[in-house]
Amino acid sequence: MEYRYRKNKKLRFKKKSLAILFLIIAIIIAFVFWITNREGPYEKYYQYDENNKKIGEVQHYQKENEQFFISMYYPKTNIKELNKIINDCWNDYIKDQKANKDSKDILYMDYSIDQVYKQYVNLKLSMNRYNEDDKLVEQSNKLFCYDTKNEKVLTVNDVLRKNYKISLANINGIDNINQDNDNLEIKKDKVVIYTNDKLKEKVEIKYEENKDLIRLANKNIPSNAPLDVKTPTPLPKIDPNKKMIAFTLDDGPHKTNTLRVVEMFEKYNGRATFFQLGKNVQAYPDIVKTVYEHGFEIASHSWDHPDLRKLDTNAVNKQIVDTQNAIFSITGDEPSLIRPPFGAYNDNVKTVVKNNGMQIALWTVDTLDWKLKDANKIKDAIVNNAYDGAVVLIHDIHNFTVDGLEMALAELANKGYQFVTLSTLGEYKELKTVLR
């Protein structure tokens, strides 16, 4: 019995070591398989350029499926919002590629990132698509600059004053650059704007030589932009299914009425648009700044209220440019809308407005408040003519108008109206008769 027992034990021992041996061999095979797969056909897609990664940590995403081998290098910075934008960028790219091809390709991404004057982070994502023979079949770039102070991706509109097309008419390619283009890089001495995502055609604008044209607000960058303006209070959330109305207040700012109007709208979590005269902007800069910082829209109403049809091109331009400059020097922002005095314009005025990167804005409800001169009558004129999508014209320079407005807002709020700026209204309603 004892002998058999020992023999069994020996046999079991042999079986056990054989199993371990097989296990080790299996692990070695798996390991070799993994190594060759990893660094074999795709070896070069596990490399990236170390020189152009000035901030953040290098992250790597890798995936293989029936359609793709994917290897993406991207940065992780200490800016949460920027990380989200970056992730969305390459995730969208991958989704996009999946939708339109069926052969098995390689998607490879590398990037460059740097930071200028602390405030600006330039990022370039280079996306490359190779076929199975390692041939580059498609190349595209995503380039943008993130403003860490204002927490947004910069567009041409944030970098340059609105009249850049006219001011830079001598630069080749400027006509192809739109206000909402975000293919740009902020460098120490210039901004580089690309006209397409291949990044082949570009326009370079030096700060020093174009000081009057630069909108960027940073103490290291030559510009007339003020550095002490607070980021405006965010616009209230709009319910598109509820009624909305845009009040437009002309001829101000007024030394007491304008800020009273701001408070009245804020009581209902509302906003409005002020069409201001340049000469009054110059007289009350602190009021203009407060209106802007409270998230209200500031638009232009010319410098001193002439009939623009009676002026020559240069004089019309001066009315517009002087007012833009006055508002810009206070807020660092400038109107995109102008209401010509009396709503009067001709083709010449229209052209000058367009050349300044602006749009003409009229109204749909005229209360004739200046003629009524009575708060109750003005209140009735507003309430009785109000409708969903209306653009109401009043003047914040008259006490009786502001008194009437106060009563009108209470009644309209009761009826479920939201009070919005003209630009906000334009996002939800057709304003064909208003915006020209």
Binding footprint of Zn ion on the chain (CB under 5 A):
250-251, 341
Q: What secondary structure, in 3-state letters, does the chain show? A: CHHHHHHHHHHHHHHHHHHHHHHHHHHHHHHHHHHHHHHCCCHHHHCCCCCCECCCEEEEEEEECCCEEEEEEEEECCCHHHHHHHHHHHHHHHHHHHHHCCCCEEEEEEEEEEEECCCEEEEEEEEEEECCCCCEEEEEEEEEEEECCCCEECCHHHHECCCHHHHCCCCCCHHHCCCCCCCEEECCCEEEEECCCCCCCEEEEECHHHHHHECCCCCCCCCCCCCCCCCCCCCCCCCCCCCEEEEEEECCCCCCHHHHHHHHHHHCCCCCEEEECHHHHHHCHHHHHHHHHCCCEEEECCCCCCCHHHCCHHHHHHHHHHHHHHHHHHHCCCCCEECCHHHCCCHHHHHHHHHCCCEEECCCEECCHHHHCCHHHHHHHHHHHCCCCCEEEEECCCHHHHHHHHHHHHHHHHCCCEEECHHHHHHHCCCCCCEC
Min dist CB 325 to Zn ion, Å, is 20
**d(C-alpha 374, C-alpha 72), whole Å:** 68
Min dist CB 250 to Zn ion, Å, is 4
Measured from the CB atom, the residue of 155 and 302 that comes closer to Zn ion is 302
Min dist CB 380 to Zn ion, Å, is 22
Min dist CB 347 to Zn ion, Å, is 21
**d(C-alpha 289, C-alpha 397), whole Å:** 18
Give the residue nearest to Zn ion (CB): 250
Measured from the CB atom, the residue of 341 and 404 that comes closer to Zn ion is 341
CB 426 within 8 A of CB 397: no
Tokens standing for residue 152: 């947004």
CB 416 within 8 A of CB 242: yes
Pairing of strands 365-366, 391-395: parallel
Measured from the CB atom, the residue of 222 and 306 that comes closer to Zn ion is 306
Pairing of strands 152-153, 136-147: antiparallel
Min dist CB 403 to Zn ion, Å, is 20
Measured from the CB atom, the residue of 210 and 302 that comes closer to Zn ion is 302
Min dist CB 194 to Zn ion, Å, is 41
Measured from the CB atom, the residue of 61 and 370 that comes closer to Zn ion is 370
Measured from the CB atom, the residue of 142 and 395 that comes closer to Zn ion is 395
Min dist CB 184 to Zn ion, Å, is 37
The residues pairing with 245 across neighbouring beta strands, listed in sequence order, are: 419
Min dist CB 395 to Zn ion, Å, is 7
**CA separation (Å) from 24 to 19, 29, 161?**
9, 9, 69
Min dist CB 301 to Zn ion, Å, is 6
Min dist CB 377 to Zn ion, Å, is 20
Measured from the CB atom, the residue of 75 and 335 that comes closer to Zn ion is 335
Measured from the CB atom, the residue of 182 and 297 that comes closer to Zn ion is 297
Min dist CB 342 to Zn ion, Å, is 7
Measured from the CB atom, the residue of 122 and 300 that comes closer to Zn ion is 300
CB 390 within 8 A of CB 426: no
Measured from the CB atom, the residue of 110 and 250 that comes closer to Zn ion is 250
Measured from the CB atom, the residue of 110 and 251 that comes closer to Zn ion is 251
